[in-house]
Structure formats: structure tokens, C-alpha cells
A and B are shown apart, each in its own frame.
Chain A
Amino acid sequence: MAHTTEEVLAGLTELVTDETGIAADQVSLEKSFTDDLDIDSISMMTIVVNAEEKFDVKIPDDEVKNLTTVGEAVEFITKAQA
């Protein structure tokens, strides 16, 4: 069953927290992965691969570059589940 936007945000937040140790309350839709959360490209890729597994979606390499904010990632994953 497809996850709701809220569920995707909660799940993604968990992955970000696991990978980087960033507090969950710091992760919100408008935050930029690189500029606000200071997540480097390697951690980003680890989060992407874990998100693919968690939400059963494919996030191609080319698409990762477009996912600047948490909100964009949540939107992509939510749509990709459909």
C-alpha cells in the first residue's frame, strides 16, 4: 500500500537521522539537504538507497541531483509509489 506524504516524511526523517545523527525535529519539508542539513553527497546516496528499499521505489542517479530539499524528495517518493 502506498504511503501518505506524512508517512514518507516520517520515514525519510528516520533515514536521515540514522545516517547523520541529525535530530528528527531539524528535518522538515523546506530544509535543503546540503545547505541546511549539511548532508554530503555520500550520505545523501546512502539515504537514497535506503529510501528506495523502505518505500519500494526507484530513484535514478539523475533524479537525485534534482532532489534539493526534503520536500522535493518526499514529493518524488510519494508520486513514484503510485
Chain B
Amino acid sequence: MSPLRQSTGSPYTRILGLGAARGDTAVSNDEVAGPIDSSDEWIRQRTGVIERKRSSAHEGVIDLAERAAKEAQEKSGISPSDIGAVIVATISNPVQTPSLASLLAHRIGVAPAAAYDISAACAGYTYGIAQADALIRSGAASHVLVVGAEKLSELVEPTDRSISFLLGDGAGAAVVGPSDTIGIGPTIWGSDGSKWDAVGMNKPLKAAFEDREGGYPTLRQDGQAVFRWAVWEMAKVAKEALEVSGVSVEELTAFVPHQANMRIIDEFAKQLGLPESVLIARDIETTGNTSAASIPLAMHRLLEEHPGASGGLALQIGFGAGLVFGAQVVTLP
């Protein structure tokens, strides 16, 4: 009997190209303020959001994912056949199975690439990058497409004051591939299920089905508890990600946190002691909170506004329902 073989891949990886797609409709604060008895000023002051992008009825989450993925593939300079795996991080796949990823792989012409979804909410993209890095270094795939895609407007309750008014629709994509130098630092990731109910759906699907008048499940959060965790606990995670990467805050070009709330981003930057030279992604202002899509969308915009940042180091951190978190330092494509 011949001995079993194991695969090995490229020792280093990096993000080769990014793609972005936002919902086709800008929704102003005035449009969401009425049902929550609020105002444009209240929303701006508490969240930093001026408008959120949402998709019209004909634009599904798969359409957003497809647009972002195609751009990422084109910008990466590789051919579709090089993509060996497609990972979609999402909480808004309209069906529990099959995955969004397998349909996406078909639509963008990369089948028979391996394709699967991951459920890690707002940390999903950073989980996807961690997996892509591991898959390439182990030789399981030569290139991996990671997409965060959400149509959260289908999960909102207009009268909910806790989170709904923040949410937007969009997809961000990254092609990860082999590299001559280290382009993805070690991931610090984890979970805290003791706070399982701090943010998430307000009821299970079956309960919603049995109570027809109660409507479809929608997102809710305990904002105060999440805020505390997101800033002070996540600041520790972010510092750890810097430490294991051997990178100081002074060496960072950009900080790209999950776009949950501008106040979280501001307090986060303060806790990390970021120097003024570090670019801070603030895409939430006009995109809203797009869960798994928010980090790649924010990074894509940051690079459009600051093309010179390409090649620099960015600290990215995702955190959300689970609770789950993931952080890593990456080289900006």
C-alpha cells in the first residue's frame, strides 16, 4: 500500500483584488425616522449615519454578491478558472439551503469550485479571510473568493429602535491568492455564546410561521451591552491581532473595523490610540451597517479615496451576533 499524501500550498497569501456593490437606493434618515418617532439629527448624533443604501425589490442578495465578486475577480487579474473555492459570509440568504455560494460560483463561472456559506454575522468576512488564507496555505485551493453579502432590508422592522434604522444592503468581495510576501497576518478569532441573545433575530422561523400576525423574524439588539462589548472587549482583540502580527499602530496605514456605528468606531480608535496618520474607514456614514459586507465595502471605498494606501497595512476587525469576532492585519491590495 502506498503512503497517504497530504497537500501543501503557497507559504504566503494576500488579498489580490476587491469588489463592491451597494444597494441601488439611498434611504435618508428622514425616511426611517418616522416609525421610530425620531429625527435626522437624533440618528446622526447617535450613529453617524446620514443615509443607508438599500436594494429595490428586483435586486436580491445574490445580485449584489455577483457584482462585487466579478469586480474582485477582474481586479485580481486572475481567470475565473483559478478560483478553487467560494466562501460567502451572510445572514440574509433567503433560504436555509442551498448555499448562496454555490449559486454565486455558478453565476460567475467558477464552478466546479468548492462553495459554501458561513454564518458568523458581522465577523463573517474576517472568518472568510482566515479560511481562505488557511485553504491556500494548505493547498486545498490556489485562489479563494471571499464575499460578504447582505440584504438586511429584508430583516428590518421599521418600528424597531434598536438596530433596524442602521441597516443597509451590499456586498464586498476579495480574491485571496498566493503571494511572495506575507499579506495576511494571524487571525485572532473567537466566540462568546453567553451573549447569544445580545443581537440577532427576534424569533425562530417556525415561531413566525405559526404566528402569522407576528410577521417575519427581524433583527434586534441590546445596544448598550453590544456597545460595551464591541468597544472595550474588541479593543483587546484588535491589540492582540496587532501583537501577533508584529505590527504597531504607528505602522498601520488604515483601520477598517466592522461598520456598526460611528460612535463605536470613534471610541475604538481612541482605545487603540491610533495616530492621526492612520486612515479610519467610515463608510457607515452613507452605506449603513451591512453586517458581513461592511469591512470589504469600507476597505474598497478607502482605497478609492486614498489610492496611495495600496500596499500598506490595514487592521480589520469584525464582531457581531453570536457573539463572534475575528481580526487580522492585511496588506491593502
Do A and B interact?
yes
Q: What B residues does A42 contact at CB under 8 A?
A: 46, 223-224, 227, 261, 263
A61 near B263 with CB under 8 A, answer no
* CB under 8 Å from chain B, chain A span 35-70: 40-42, 44-46, 48-49, 61, 64-65
Dominant secondary structure at the A interface: helix
- CA of A64 to CA of B225, assembled, Å: 9
Residue B232 at the chain A interface, CB threshold 8 Å:
yes
Proximity string of chain B (10-31) to chain A, C-beta cutoff 8 Å, 1 when within and 0 when not: 0000000000000000000000
Which of B46, B222, B225, B267 is within 8 Å of A46, CB to CB?
B267
Give the number of chain A interface residues (Cβ < 8 Å): 11
A41 near B223 with CB under 8 A, answer yes
Dominant secondary structure at the B interface: helix
- CA of A45 to CA of B261, assembled, Å: 14
* Nearest chain A CB to B38 CB, angstrom units: 12
* Nearest chain B CB to A18 CB, angstrom units: 12
B232 near A61 with CB under 8 A, answer no
Chain B, residue nearest A40 (CB): B46
A61 near B267 with CB under 8 A, answer no
Which B residues are closer than 8 A to A by beta carbons?
45-46, 222-225, 227-228, 231-232, 261, 263, 267
Which A residues are closer than 8 A to B by beta carbons?
40-42, 44-46, 48-49, 61, 64-65
